[in-house]
Every structure is written in C-alpha cells, then in structure tokens.
Amino acid sequence: MKLYQPEEVIVERSSLGSPIYRNLRQSLADVPFTVVDEIASAGSNVAADRFGAAKKKLFLAEHKGEFFKKCPGSDGQVCCNYFVINFASNCPMDCSYCYLQEYLADNSQLKVFSNVGALIDEADQVLKKHRGMFFRVGTGEITDSLALEPYTGMVSELIPYFAEQPNVLLELKTKSDCVDSLLKLDPKGRVVVAWSMNPQRVIDLDEADTASFSERLIAARRCQEVGYRLGFHFDPMIEYPGWEADYKNMLEELFATIDWRKLSWLSLGVLRNTPGLKRAMRERFPRTRLLTGEQVICPDGKLRYFQPLRVEMYRKMVGWIRRAAPTVKIYLCMESKEVWQQVFGFAPACEKDLGNEMAPGAESSWV
Ligand code: SF4
C-alpha cells in the first residue's frame, strides 16, 4: 500500500502541546507545517473536487464536543448496539461509494483531534459508570481507524487504556495495512482489529488508495499472531457478473490464512446509497459501475438492491462462510428483521441482544 503523504499539515495553536502533534512532527519531517489560531477558515479551497482536494491537507485541532456516542444506526433496521469514538474526521483513502462524500460534504477537512487525554477521560467516565454493561466501541465511523496511524500514533495512545477495561471491546476498522505500531502493544483481549474486505476486482475499481486484499490479509494475520482479536466486514458487497466466484475465492483465501476460531465476528452488508451520495459519486467517479445497477429505496431512505437479491447474496455468503467456519458469529449490517429472518431463520429480539452476542466469551445462541 502506498502510504498517504499530506502536502501540508495545519495545526491549531492549542494543539501544539499534544502527543499527536509531537508524533506528526517526528514522522512527517519533510512536510511543511503551518500553525494557525483557528482552523475553521484555514485551508478552505475552491477546487472543482473540493472533497478530493480536502484529503491533501491534514489538520490537527482540539475536538470541542463529545467523543463518545451511540452509533446512530439506520431507521427501521436491526441495530447492533455499537458505540463510536470519533478521533478524526474524513479519510486519506478514496472509495467511490464512501458515504462521507455526502455526510462530510460541508465539513470535508481531513482532521485529527489532538486532545486524546480528554477522549480517554470521557470514555473512562462512561465505562466506569456502567460496569455491568458491555460496550462495543468503534473508531471508524467517520474515518479509517488505522490509515493515519503511522503519523499520528493515535491508536497507540488508546490501546493501553482500553486494554485494561473489563467491559469493552475496542474495534479498529480499516482498509489499510498500517499495523506496525499495534504489534508492539499488548491488547489483553480487548482490541479487535477489523478489515473491510472485498475481492481484488472491487478494490481495483472502487477502493482507491487502499491496501490490496493480500496486504490486508497479511496485516490481519500479523495482528492475530500477537494476540489481537480479528473481525471482517464484507461490506459493501457488490453484485456484478461473476461476483459469486470472486467472493467465494476471497473467503477461501481468507480462511486458509486466518484461524477462524479466533475471530470475534464477521458482518455482511450490501452496497447502500442515497440520492445525495449518488450525485457526489456521479461528479467524482462518473465511470464507476456502482451507479448503473438497479436499487430500491428502503424505509430508512437508503437505496439497496432488491430484497430477494440481497437475501440470495447473504445466503450464499453465509453458506460459504459456514463451510469453513461453522460457528463463527455473523451479523447483518443495517438490514431489516425480515431479511434477518430469511437469511438466518431468526432476528435478534432487540439491539442489546445483538450487542451482547458479540461480548467476548458469550455463548452464541445463533449457530
Ligand atoms: S476507507 Fe472507508 S472512510 Fe476511507 S474512503 Fe473508503 S469507505 Fe470512506
């Protein structure tokens, strides 16, 4: 994977004392740094592709709001009771289907938050107050969890704290292979490193600047070897002529490389769009085939493949997975109870039910 290199780093003055600033200075010694009082207006650009141009500069600033939030999920879909910590905003990679193109259209600066101490304090208050509850916490909602790690060292600041908490699993979701710094730390069973996986044909066409399938798989194995739990998200699954062979081969290669008994979970989800996202894709990726397939609008306002096609895709994937990994935990991301029923023959009673299934050591009632 070709490592992202920003053209400039713009730092808010109040972030100069943070460990993230120190790490950036050390790792990006050849990149110009500019210090500003406030980043709000700094670096705004008028390029035709504002979203793409925004990825070229890296901003460092304090986060002013709350870090720890419940994942909003999607109306009418089964939610997996997930919490998110946003330590950065936007992503240096450039997938054609990325929902951030719409979600961050008016706030597209590629930004890392410097006040990691405040983040840990906030998480600590929540986790201590609810010791009886199990939390699955992710950092990859509006950024990739690891793509900037070689420069920021953010995750290396977080892991030692989360590794000591008895009621949490921290999930780091990525399409990169930037795991070197993780290998020096002891996750103590509390950290899941998870990859979004697609066949190389999809990566080549629609996941620009990400690690290849093989690079992701090698990175995953390295993490597994030093004690990290692993997850894989086959999401978004793309339907195209020959998708079955590509996805089946991908799964065979994955299970030949990874010890499935040590997987925490797998998830499945099909391509999701909105009319606004499609507009952004048409402007930025006019040649992508993802704009040509038929989709229907669902109760949450998102466009998905027709339900019978989705069910068929999920059933086939579950069948191929079960052949290699009979008892691995699989869930559907942002799907209705109706689709769950058709794929698995049941649907979780509530979001806590689904969340608790994912707790370490939980006996699965689903397989
Ligand atoms: S890796 Fe994720 S966050 Fe980054 S561009 Fe792709 S879909 Fe968006």
Task: Name the residue of 144, 148, 273, 285 to mutate for ligand 1: max ligand atoms within 8 A of Cβ.
Answer: 144
CA of 291 to the centre of ligand 1 (A): 18
175-198 per-position pLDDT tens digit: 999 999 999 999 999 999 999 999
Q: How confident is the model at residue 49 (pLDDT cuts 50, 70, 90)?
A: confident
87-140 per-position pLDDT tens digit: 999 999 999 999 999 999 999 999 999 999 999 999 999 999 989 888 899 997
70-86 per-position pLDDT tens digit: 766 555 665 556 889 99
Would you list the DSSP string of 272-305?
-B-HHHHHHHHHH-TT-GGGTS--EE-TTS-EES
CA of 171 to the centre of ligand 1 (A): 16
Cα dihedral 149, 235, 350, 361 in deg (nearest 10): -60
User: Which residue's alpha carbon is nearest to atom 6 within ligand 1?
Assistant: 95
CA of 141 to the centre of ligand 1 (A): 9
How many other C-beta atoms can be found within 10 angstroms of the C-beta atom of residue 224? 17
Q: How far apart are CA 16 and CA 7, in angstroms?
A: 19
**157-185 mean pLDDT:** 96
| pLDDT value for 364 | 58
| pLDDT value for 265 | 94
Q: How far apart are CA 263 and CA 27, in angstroms?
A: 32
Task: Name the residue of 98, 171, 197 to mutate for ligand 1: max ligand atoms within 8 A of Cβ.
Answer: 98
Query: Ligand 1 pocket by C-beta < 6 Å: which residues?
Result: 91, 93-95, 98, 100, 144, 175, 210
Ligand 1 atom having least distance to the Cα of 94: 5
Ligand 1 atom having least distance to the Cα of 143: 3
Ligand 1 atom having least distance to the Cα of 174: 1
User: Which residue's alpha carbon is nearest to atom 8 within ligand 1?
Assistant: 98
* Lowest pLDDT segment from 115-124, 213-222, 266-275, 347-356: 347-356
Are 99 and 280 in contact by the 8 Å Cβ rule? The answer is no
Single pTM value for the model: 0.93
SS3 state at 115: coil
259-299 per-position pLDDT tens digit: 999 999 999 999 999 999 999 999 999 999 999 888 999 99
- Cα–Cα separations (whole angstroms), residue 36 to 23, 216, 286, 346: 18, 37, 36, 55
CA of 340 to the centre of ligand 1 (A): 26
71 beta partners: none
Task: Name the residue of 1, 93, 145, 284 to mutate for ligand 1: max ligand atoms within 8 A of Cβ.
Answer: 93
CA of 362 to the centre of ligand 1 (A): 30
Contacts of 286 (CB under 8 A, 6+ apart): none
CA of 102 to the centre of ligand 1 (A): 12
Ligand 1 atom having least distance to the Cα of 99: 8
